[in-house]
């Protein structure tokens, strides 16, 4: 019997009353579950097996079958704030789909779990912030974090903070640890993509010119998503850069831990780089939804 935290990546109907759920578990990597009666209103798994939910699942792993029977699923965080933010939600769906399609199956994926859990938690924190577009201080981030634990559905978690929100606002820099740099909502997806490049062995060197080898001290003059190579001002010379200024500035901001102003350029450059390395065989369907959502928000 295995007990593990899990992030639900995908869920689809199976027969009239059942679901098949694919989840990234902390202990066993990606596991496919058959959830009999999961569609019923009185299902004990309600909410715990919704896509992007963080849950604790208990199952017996049968090596002879691809579909595992789930015994228990306890909801830890439904990601309420993230679900109310369409743009962040569509980015989180792309992350889930990329893990599902490109991460190796049948092996533990602890680093993938940790990074995805972190990114989704950061979305949940920054989407819940009252000033969601400008999470420019660690205080904003920590106060969002505490309101998340107070508002979340994880009331049965012993570690959930029960501090009322008003008290938190009175002392924003309470005992909560502050991250080394503030989490910017607009950086989360790009940072996850950059970390994923690193994790899957396609590290991008954000600080070196790929032609002369000099260390960059400002945004590069060009970037080639096919190779992940940056070019300095000197090496570019009089040539016209192929990369847009928004892309170059965004990648530099990511390196410096500063807020990315137009994240869609940076995200698309990193997606192009990753897809060049992973291969174009499998299309990431949720990118279409992300692009539609970006249009809706003028991004
Ligand atoms: Zn150079």
259-284 pLDDT, tens per residue?
999 999 999 999 999 988 887 556 78
What does the pLDDT average to over 139-152? 40
Considering all CA atoms of the chain, what is the largest pairwise distance in Å, rounded to the nearest integer? Answer: 67
DSSP state of 40: S
CA nearest neighbour of 163 among 181, 178, 145: 145
Q: Residue 282: what pLDDT? A: 66
**The pLDDT of residue 4:** 97
CA 266 to chain centre: 15
Q: Is 219 helix (H, G, I), strand (E, B) or coil?
A: coil
With beta carbons less than 8 A apart as the criterion, state whether 116 and 95 touch: yes
Give the per-residue pLDDT at 131.
Answer: 47
Average pLDDT along the chain? 85
Tokens of 185: 């909502």
Residue 84 has pLDDT above 70, yes or no: yes
What pLDDT, on the 0 to 100 scale, is given for residue 144?
40
Q: Band the pLDDT of 174: cuts 50, 70, 90.
A: very low
Identify which has the larger pLDDT, 222 or 173: 222
Q: How far is the CA of 274 from the centre of ligand 1 (A)?
A: 23
Is residue 118 packed enough to be buried (19+ CB in 10 Å), middle (13-18) or exposed (0-12)?
middle
Distance 275 CA to ligand 1 centre (A): 26
Output the CA 250–ligand 1 centroid distance in Å: 19
Q: Kindly report which listed range (14-18, 42-46, 99-103, 222-226) carries the lowest average pLDDT score.
A: 42-46
Q: What would the pLDDT profile of 25-53 be if each residue is shown by its tens digit?
A: 999 999 999 998 888 888 888 899 999 99
Structure tokens at 214: 């000099």
- pLDDT attached to residue 172: 42
| Predicted local confidence at residue 140, as pLDDT | 41
Q: Which of 25-29, 79-83, 174-178, 218-222 bottoms out in mean pLDDT, i.e. has the lowest? A: 174-178
Residue identified by tokens 């819940």 is 128
Q: How far is the CA of 265 from the centre of ligand 1 (A)?
A: 23
247 CA from centroid of ligand 1 (Å): 18
Taking the C-alpha atoms of residue 9 and residue 159, their distance in angstroms, rounded to an integer, is 25
Q: What is the C-alpha R_g of the chain?
A: 21
Residue 121 zone, left/alpha/beta (φ > 0; ψ -120 to 50; rest): alpha
Expressed in angstroms and rounded, the spacing between residue 231 Cα and the centre of ligand 1 is 5
Q: Which residues, other chains included, contact 92 with Cβ-Cβ below 8 Å and sequence gap of 6+?
A: 52, 79, 82, 119, 120, 123
What lies within 8 Å, CB to CB, of 93 at 6+ separation is 51, 52, 286, 289, 290
Does residue 182 register a pLDDT over 60?
yes
> Could you tell me the distance, in angstroms and rounded to a whole number, from the CA of residue 276 to the centre of ligand 1?
23
What pLDDT, in 10s, does the model give residues 88-142?
Answer: 999 999 999 999 999 988 899 999 999 999 999 999 999 977 544 444 444 444 4
What tokens does 274 get? 């990753």
Higher pLDDT, 112 or 64: 112
| Termini Cα distance of the chain | 46
Q: Is the pLDDT of residue 146 over 60?
A: no
pLDDT, position 148: 39
pLDDT recorded at residue 43: 84
150 CA from centroid of ligand 1 (Å) = 51
Question: What mean pLDDT is predicted for residues 277-293?
Answer: 84
**Angle formed at CA 50 by CA 47 and CA 56, multiple of 5 degrees:** 70
- Centre of ligand 1 to C-alpha 51, Å, is 45
Q: 158 falls in which pLDDT band (50, 70, 90)?
A: very low
pLDDT the model gives residue 92: 98
């Amino acid at each position: 019997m295995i007990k593990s935290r899990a992030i639900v990546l995908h869920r689809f109907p199976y027969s009239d009353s059942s679901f098949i759920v694919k989840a990234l578990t902390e202990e066993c990597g990606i596991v496919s579950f058959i959830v009999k009666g999961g569609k019923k209103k009185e299902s004990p798994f309600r909410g715990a097996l919704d896509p992007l939910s963080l849950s604790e699942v208990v199952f017996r792993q049968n090596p002879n079958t691809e579909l595992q029977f789930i015994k228990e699923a306890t909801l830890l965080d439904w990601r309420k704030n993230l679900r109310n933010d369409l743009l962040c939600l569509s980015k989180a769906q792309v992350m889930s789909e990329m893990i599902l399609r490109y991460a190796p199956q049948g092996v533990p994926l602890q680093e993938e779990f940790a990074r995805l859990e972190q990114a989704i938690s950061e979305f949940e924190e920054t989407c819940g912030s009252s000033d969601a577009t400008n999470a420019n201080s660690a205080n904003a981030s920590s106060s969002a974090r505490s309101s998340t634990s107070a508002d979340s559905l994880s009331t049965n978690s012993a570690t959930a903070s029960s501090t009322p929100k008003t008290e938190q606002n009175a002392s924003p820099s309470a005992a909560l640890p502050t991250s080394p740099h503030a989490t910017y909502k607009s950086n989360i997806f790009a940072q996850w993509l950059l970390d994923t490049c690193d994790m899957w062995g396609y590290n991008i060197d954000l600080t070196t010119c790929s032609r002369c080898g000099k260390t960059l001290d400002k945004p590069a003059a060009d970037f080639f998503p096919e190779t992940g190579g940056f070019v300095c001002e000197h090496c570019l010379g009089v040539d016209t850069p192929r990369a847009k200024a928004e892309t170059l500035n965004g990648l530099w901001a990511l390196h410096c831990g500063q807020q990315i102003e137009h994240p869609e350029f940076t995200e698309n450059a990193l997606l192009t780089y990753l897809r060049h390395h992973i291969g174009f065989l499998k299309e990431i369907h949720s990118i279409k939804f992300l692009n539609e959502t970006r249009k809706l928000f003028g991004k």
